[in-house]
Structure formats: structure tokens, C-alpha cells
Structure 1
Amino acid sequence: MHFLLLGATGRTGRHVVSQLLAQGHTAVALVRVSGSLAPRSGLTVVTGSPLSKTDIQSALSAAPSLTPFAAIITLNTVRKSDSPFAPQVSAPRFLADSCANVCEVLEDAGVLRIVVMSTAGAGDSWPNLPWLSRVFMGSTNIKYALEDHNIVDSEIRKTKMDWTLVRASRLRFEEQDETSMTMKTTDIKILDSVGFGMRISDSIHIGQVAGFLIKVAIEGLYIKRAIVIKN
């Protein structure tokens, strides 16, 4: 299958690229910075912005003989550093406007499947997020990313897309074998949209998230649903 990827240069997005190609699929990735992702067999890289519909259209036509089966979005907002207190760099609606543009372009092209990486605490899962997590997210600049995810959560439901929102628990980034992470998608615990049963200790490795996003896209799982995932 062929995929459109946004956020492919991020820590989770790079796992999505590696696992897709390892499974024999092809992809076109729209990246904002030229040279940030090296082309390889099965991967076409297009430089542009998800805030530009023209750039998204260019990505769709970059591999003329291939039409995307689905889009996988792993975009996130950007702060000046990884510190949760670092100033926000991204525009307030970066995620929401990017997602809206992708949905519009894909719908015009007749491609309706889209899987979006979100975060535990977004939408109706907020009340069930452990109180300490809510305090942390609400008192740091992470709150701006959460607000953007919330807008995506609200607006994508108004589209005609066959969307899935995957609300990941706290992400882990330690080095792991890619094949091991792919296999361990069976260890993922899936909660409904409200995330009843979330705990402060919940986490999930980015490699597992990547494998799960691919599985959901390919198998047509959880269409028009939001789910919380943890390990």
C-alpha cells in the first residue's frame, strides 16, 4: 500500500517510516525542512508545509503512479526546547489547520482514510486523566499542544473522512529494536475514547505507537473513533 505521511521527521514519525518500508509499503513524506529526511527505496520526500494545500497536493502527485491508501499524521507542536516550560514556537492552530488542509486535499482526491496521532487527555478523555497529569499539562506550555489537539479532535468529526484519533499515553523514547517494537503492538492496551482506567504510570514506546498507527490504517480499525492506548 502507499501512504501520505506528515510528521515523518519526528521521533514517532521516523518509526512509522521505517516500519512501513520494512513491511513492503511505499510512502511520500511532506517535510518542512529540506534534507531532514533522506529518501530511500520506497520513500519519496517532498519539501513543503502542511499549512499549504498546494504543498500537500504536490506531495500527492510526487509519485504519479501511486495513490495513497491513507494518510498517517504524527505532527506535533514545536517548543524552543524539550522542556515543558519552553516557549511555544508553532502557531496556535498548527495541528488543526494542518489536519484540515490534509482532509480537504485528500477528500478532493477521493482518499478518505486518515489516522492521526493525538494524546491522552485530549477531548473527552481529559476528565479521566490522572489529576497529577492534568495539573502538569495545565500548568506548563504543554497545554498549548493539548489545546491544538482538542481543536483537531472537534473539527475532524465534521469532515467526511474515515478518521481515527489515537490518543497515546506518555511516550517513551529509549532505544529499542524496531522489529521488537512492531511485534509488541500486541501488548498495547486499548481504552475507549474517555480513557477510563488511565493511571499516572501509563506509558508507551514510540515504536509501538508507530506500529499501531500503521495497523489501524491498514486494517481499517476504529473508524470515526478516538481511542486511548497505553502499554
Structure 2
Amino acid sequence: MQLLIFGATGGTGRQLVVQALAAGHTVTAFARSSAKVATQHPNLRVVQGDVLSYPAVLAAMAGQDAVLSALGAPARQKDDLRSAGTRNILQAMEATGVRRFICLTTMGIGDSKALLPFSYKYLLVPLLLRHAFADSELQEQYIRQSPVEWTIARPATLTNGARTGHYRHGFPATERGLKISISRADVADFMLQQLHETKYLRQTPCLSY
């Protein structure tokens, strides 16, 4: 498939690029700084641009079969990168007829809040991650309102561990025994699997070990 990946220089985005290429896809990596895309491959094209620029996003969208987004920002960065960038992506998809969108947010959004440990719900999120969570909530709102064929992946705390292929997904908010962590490599594995599956079409599965 022809895949367009946003957030390609972040931890999960890098895994998406590497794993997609290994699976035989042709990848367009959209990045604010092309120099930060370390991967080199004959099936990789790097497009330098700002996701907050609709014309730049629209130009990269032509000819794509599906879009994956791992947009993120530092916890203390108070901007609307996730929501505004995603809104541009969705509008460009509608304009060009690209249908499949797989997006990364986080466990704790919406009805998954109950899965978070006490320290996250009452300390980390309110004190350190409040703006990031609010922006992700708005991001998900835009996605839900879109006519594209979307899936939102909500992983637990991200780690730099190995790709195992063994993790839990799609569990209810009452699930117990979770480690509340998962490697970025396994998140990328799950997101790429959704290119060929419809089980989580227009759903928000959580991911964790």
C-alpha cells in the first residue's frame, strides 16, 4: 500500500516507518525536519512540512491509500498540534478521497479514563498532562465527526521495549491486571495490522500488556 505517516520522527512514528517498509509498503514520511528521518530505503519518500499547514498536508496526500498518525508533543508544550494537525489531515483526506485513517492518542481519553491508575488520574494528568489530554480529546472529537474510515489506538504508557507481538487490545474499561505499559514497537505493530482488518473500524481500542 501507499502509506502517509505523520509524526514520523517521534518514537512511535519511527517504528511505523521501519515496520511499514519491512512489510513491503511504500511510505511517505511527513516531517517538520526531514533531517530527523534517519531511515533510508528505496520505498521511502520524505516530505518536509508542517502539519499545521493545510496546503502542505494536502500536497502530501495525493496518491495515498491510507494515513497513519503518531502526532505528539512534549507534555509541557501548550499548543493544539494534535487536534489542529489532525483536522488538516482529515480535511485533506476528504478532499483527495483517501479513506483509511489510523491515529494514535492515549489511554485515559474518554471512556478509558477508568483504566488509569490513581496516580495518573489524580496527579500526573491534572498537574502535568492536562493540556495534552485536552488536545487529544479534541483530536478524537474531530476524528469521530469525520466520514473517513478511522481507528483510534489508545496505548498505555509508552516504552522503548522490543516488538513482541503479544499484547492486549480492545479490552473494556473494567479490565484488571494490566501493566499499563506497552512498547512503541508493539503499538506500531497494532496500528499497521489495522490496515487489513475491520474489527476496530470507527472504534477506540486501548493497548497494554
2:81 is aligned, of 91, 94, 103, to: 94
2:111 and 2:126 map into 1 onto residues whose CA distance is 19
- Residue 214 of structure 1 deviates from its aligned partner by 0.3
Give TM-score scaled by structure 1 length.
0.84
- Residue 28 of structure 1 deviates from its aligned partner by 0.6
Give TM-score scaled by structure 2 length.
0.92
Corresponding residue of 2:147:
160
2:160 and 2:67 map into 1 onto residues whose CA distance is 23
The farther-off stretch of 212-221 and 22-31 is 212-221
Query: Could you report, residue by residue, the CA deviation over 1:94-143 in whole angstroms, capped at 9, with x for unpaired residues?
Result: 10111111001011111111001111101111134222221233343222
User: Is the 1:129–1:198 Cα contact (8 Å) retained in structure 2?
Assistant: no
User: Is the 1:103–1:159 Cα contact (8 Å) retained in structure 2?
Assistant: yes
2:140 and 2:176 map into 1 onto residues whose CA distance is 19
Match of 1:27, SS?
Answer: strand
2:173 and 2:106 map into 1 onto residues whose CA distance is 11
- Residue 9 of structure 1 deviates from its aligned partner by 0.3
**Count of aligned pairs between the two proteins:** 208
1:109 is aligned, of 90, 93, 96, to: 96
- Counterpart residue identity of residue 119, structure 1: T
- Counterpart residue identity of residue 223, structure 1: L
Corresponding residue of 1:190:
169
Match of 1:3, SS?
Answer: strand
Unaligned runs of 5+ in 2: none
Superposed, 1:63-212 pairs within 5 Å as 67-79=63-75, 88-91=76-79, 93-174=80-161, 176=162, 181=163, 184-185=164-165, 187-192=166-171, 195-197=173-175, 201-212=179-190
Match of 1:120, SS?
Answer: coil
Unaligned runs of 5+ in 1: 62-66, 80-87
Match of 1:226, SS?
Answer: coil
User: Is the 2:2–2:25 Cα contact (8 Å) retained in structure 1?
Assistant: yes
- Counterpart residue identity of residue 95, structure 2: D
The farther-off stretch of 123-132 and 112-121 is 123-132
Match of 2:37, SS?
Answer: coil
- Residue 170 of structure 1 deviates from its aligned partner by 1.1
Root mean square deviation, CA, Å: 1.8
Same amino acid, percent of matched pairs: 27
1:213 is aligned, of 191, 200, 204, to: 191
2:17 and 2:55 map into 1 onto residues whose CA distance is 23
